Amino acid sequence: MSLDLAGRALARECARYAAMGWMRGTSGNLSVVLGRDPLRLAVTVSGLDKGELTRHDVVVVDGTGAAVADQPHPERVPSAEAGLHARIAAVAGAGAVVHVHAVAPVVAAEFWPDGVVLRDLEMLKGFGRAAHDDEVVVPVVPNSQDMTVLGDAFERGFSADVPALIVARHGVYVWGDDLHQARQRAECLEWLLRFRTETRGTS
């Protein structure tokens, strides 16, 4: 994918999440993989309203999340969380990573800090799992401003069949082969976690 196409796609997806209330103000960040050898990602810039991004508001980063040289717009700074995006792309083989601040995942992590268990829900199919006789445990890790610490915690709890990570009192990361799949999974996961929290005393 070219940087121009990536920028357009990322701006469009950010506007969608902002309208949903999942990327309030400047919060949240998205990325898409541009190449694998070496790993390169287009990541949304830091400090801008995510509902107002343009195709130019992206930065190319390497496998550590650092901005590469020869940026089209060198004054733009990648999200501080670009390092975790890169780690997820490398370890999970994801083509796109979505990080939003939907409330349901953060609330769920408060109740189940060791991981959120989901089972016997039809919406699990939209998350890439079976609706019945299948147990999904969404990992939860403590928040940190150090992306290496978060990346290590992600790797320790990583399971190839659970494309999501909740960072306690922060937000959720969801990934997929592309931005479309990552979005579908994020929307389904938010529903699942909202159901889990709102019915926690009944089952």
pLDDT band at residue 75 using 50, 70 and 90 as cut-offs:
confident
Q: Mean pLDDT over all residues of the chain? A: 94
d(CA 145, CA 156): 18
- pLDDT at position 203 is 57
Is residue 78's pLDDT more than 70?
Answer: yes
User: Among residues 77, 140, 85, which one has the least CA distance to residue 107?
Assistant: 140
DSSP symbol at 124: G
pLDDT at 185 > cutoff 60: yes
Which of 47, 44, 51 is closest to 16 using CA atoms? 51
User: Taking the model in full, what pTM does it have?
Assistant: 0.95
Token pair 């890169």 is found at: 86
- Domains of the chain in start order, with CATH, are 3-198 (3.40.225.10)
Q: What is the mean pLDDT of residues 30-39?
A: 97
- The model's confidence at residue 103, banded by pLDDT at 50, 70 and 90, is very high
Judged against a pLDDT cut of 90, whether residue 34 lies above it is answered with: yes
Using one digit for the tens of pLDDT, what is the confidence trace for 46-68? 999 999 999 999 999 999 999 99
Pairing mode, strands 96-100 and 29-36: antiparallel
Query: pLDDT > 90: what percent of the chain?
Result: 86
